[in-house]
Amino acid sequence: MKNSFSAPGKIILFGEHAVVYGKPAIAIPVSGMRASAWSEPGEGKLTINALDLNQKISLENKTSQFSVLAQTLLSKTKQSEPNLTINLTSKLPQGSGMGSSAATSTAVCKALSNYLGVDLEKNQISELVFDAEKIVHGTPSGIDNTVVAYESPVYFVKGQEPVTFDSGRTFYLVIGDTGIESSTKETVGNVRDLLDKDPNLMNGYFDEIENVTMGGKKAIEDGDKEAVGELMNKNHELLNKIGVGHRELEKLVDVSLDAGALGAKLTGGGGGGNMVALADSAKEQKEICEKITEAGYRAYQTTFGED
């Protein structure tokens, strides 16, 4: 039987954009949407077979996150290149802020370390994935590799060690996709322009977002879903105030709240992209998901935390 290894995607639940200016953010794993990797005998060398991209990546490829990761793991464990093919597939849309690159790297890291007989701790996986992302993607914040490798909510402040924490209950979420591609780089740039124009106003909003995020952490730990929902609504309002909203995101938020969501907000860069809504129960989660689908958008259900 094939031995398959997987890793979840992620979304940001609180604090996006403000996190760029030193405020905290909270990200959670999206456990239902995963990248998976499994190995089989190779054809003379190590190959990462990215099935969705129809690409075979070898160890010499210095521009691939996977070969960078494999090379680092081999040299850290003083092992030579194995004769192995690692197959890789992912349910996560690329470039959607759902952590696709950290999830695929983590799945490959788990499959390769298992083959090599190396027992890696979560922090070691997280570091290896971070190093691979750094080389390929410039300056990642570190939030994606942490939430994906630990598969746990993460409280993150730029430049500080990310903190994982437990949630006091299962939270039922629906992710709605506006279908509008949006560049995080662009929305981050727009926020920067507004900050330059009116620093007092914008810093006031960032302070408010910080309070929301800190309240969000406590509400998640306490398992207080009503409080989490209210704080998501508040965070969404503030994200609109800092100019990263979009009318399609409003539609998704309205559909979700009308369908009984406890709270809803844009997630990630904004200006399009994804929305996340919190449902009261698995039943309401399904209903919200159906309403979003009926309204013509793609929707995914996911949960985090345990009862």
Report, as residue numbers or ranges, the catalytic residues: 144
Using alpha carbons, select from 120, 118, 90, 124 the residue that is nearest to residue 7: 90
Residue 236: both structure tokens together: 């969404």
Residue 271 near ligand PMV by CB under 6 A: no
State how far the Cα of 187 lies from the Cα of 192, in Å rounded to an integer.
9
Stretch that binds ligand PMV, among 11-19, 110-118, 200-208, 256-264 (CB under 6 A): 11-19
Stretch that binds ligand PMV, among 13-21, 171-179, 201-209, 212-220 (CB under 6 A): 13-21
* Residue 43 C-alpha from the chain's centroid: 34
Residue 216 near ligand PMV by CB under 6 A: no
Position among 13, 16, 252, 291 found at the interface with ligand PMV (CB under 6 A)? 16
* Nearest to ligand PMV of 118, 188 (CB atom): 188
Position among 97, 176, 245, 305 found at the interface with ligand PMV (CB under 6 A)? 97
Single-letter residue type at 31: S
Neighbouring CB atoms inside 10 A of 62's CB total 10
Residue 214 near ligand PMV by CB under 6 A: no
Q: Which residues of 235-248 are buried (b: 16+ CB within 10 A; e: fewer)?
A: bbebbbbbbbbbeb
Position among 176, 268, 271, 272 found at the interface with ligand PMV (CB under 6 A)? 268
State how far the Cα of 186 lies from the Cα of 270, in Å rounded to an integer.
10
Residue 19 near ligand PMV by CB under 6 A: yes
Window 166 to 205, contacts with ligand PMV (CB under 6 A): 184, 188
Window 34 to 93, contacts with ligand PMV (CB under 6 A): none
Residues in contact with 305: Cβ distance below 8 Å, sequence separation at least 6, in sequence order: 153, 166, 167, 168, 169, 170, 171, 220, 223
State the minimum distance, in angstroms, from the CB of residue 248 to ligand PMV.
Answer: 16
Cα dihedral 62, 41, 106, 30 in deg (nearest 10): 130
Stretch that binds ligand PMV, among 10-18, 74-82, 105-113, 229-237 (CB under 6 A): 10-18
Residues of the shown chain interacting with ligand PMV in the complex, contacts defined by CB under 6 A: 12, 16-17, 19-20, 97, 141, 184, 188, 268-269
